[in-house]
Amino acid sequence: MTIAPLAGTSVPAPGPGLPPRVAERWPLLPPQEPAMTITPEVEALAPAVIDGLSAEDYHADRTSISSTGLRTILAPGCPAQLRYDLDHPQPPKREFDLGHAAHLMVLGEGPELEVIDYPDWRKKGAQDQRDAAYAEGKTPLLTKDYDMVQAMAEAIRQHPLAGPLFTPGTGLAEQSIFWTDPATGVRCRVRPDWLKQLPGLTLAVDYKTIKSADPETVSKAIRDRAYHQQDALYTDGVEAAGLAPDGCRFVFVFQSKAAPYLITVRELNQQDRDIGRARNQRALRLYADCQRTGIWPDWTGPVTEIPVISMPLWAVLSETEEYLK
């Protein structure tokens, strides 16, 4: 494993506190030990790029926060949910095995595959082989699923946009990047699927499998899963680490998980990236405040009375027109 520290710069003091409407929330959780201590030593750490860090060690790091954490701390999540997730790390879900296998086929990086020669997981023999593969750190796949991810990888290779992006030998897969956010002093981390150097530009390419890669579904997934935050944080991290001296652009490659494994390659527009970066900054301020106070609130405000809730605005307008006029 190679650790490449990069030249760092001085880090200013943490930025201003949270907006009053956030800072004044009445938390339901008592103060807790910080999930990550933001010390002067942490703030002063230079950016670093680590090649060969395992996914398990990357996700287990408690000195930094990831894009997933920054998305979880904001609505519809909340600080209480993030704190629980940090304190109760979950083992990888089996429904992610297909995506992990596809990543290995496309990127050439990831856990080794173990092909299980059964039609499904109902037989005890299949289950035993699956569990043994997990115990060895491998990704188990049924034969039919292995054939499917091979077909998915071939579709990527044949695609006029995705294929050239992932040409073997033209990029770096799954580099772990750590840096300190200068506005808050929070240590951040990202792990781009693929970094591709072009003349005057670096591309951070993110490969995602999805039920349907049609552009409308992809657009909705970007909003629902806050992928615009991921875009902003990853480009910030790549640039902070000195890996993109001429700037970084983030590219999404979405692929359907059903034949013929269609592909959509997209970049976000500038407005969406700006929104994602603003969301990240709010999340970082909130996270820093939770670390400082040891208080990780949920969505609830002052609990002196029962709050009022309403239907979504579109429903209010529709039903007002239908029933009250």
Confidence of residue 2 (pLDDT cuts 50, 70, 90): very low
pLDDT beyond 70 at 137: yes
Query: In the predicted model, what is the mean pLDDT of residues 235-254?
Result: 96
Task: Please give the helix or strand (H or E) that residue 211 lies within, else none.
Answer: none
- pLDDT score for 325: 79
Give the CATH number for residue 309: 3.90.320.10
Query: In the predicted model, what is the mean pLDDT of residues 216-242?
Result: 97
Interatomic CA distance for residues 187 and 161, integer angstroms? 34
pLDDT beyond 80 at 94: no
288: containing domain: 2-323
- pLDDT score for 56: 86
pLDDT beyond 90 at 87: yes
Q: Is 173 helix (H, G, I), strand (E, B) or coil?
A: strand
| Average pLDDT value for the chain | 85
* Residue 306 CA neighbour count, 13 Å, CB half: 1
**135-139, 162-166, 187-191, 241-245: least confidently modelled range:** 135-139
- pLDDT score for 35: 55
Strand-pair category, 194-198 with 263-266: unpaired
Query: In the predicted model, what is the mean pLDDT of residues 145-171?
Result: 94
Q: Tokens 């970084």 label which residue?
A: 248
**Is there a contact between 59 and 191 (Cβ–Cβ < 8 Å)?**
no
- pLDDT score for 135: 87
Give whole-number Cα distances, 109 to 3, 101, 123, 158, 296, in Å: 18, 9, 30, 20, 36
- pLDDT per position as a tens digit, 180-190: 999 999 999 99
Count of domains in the chain?
1
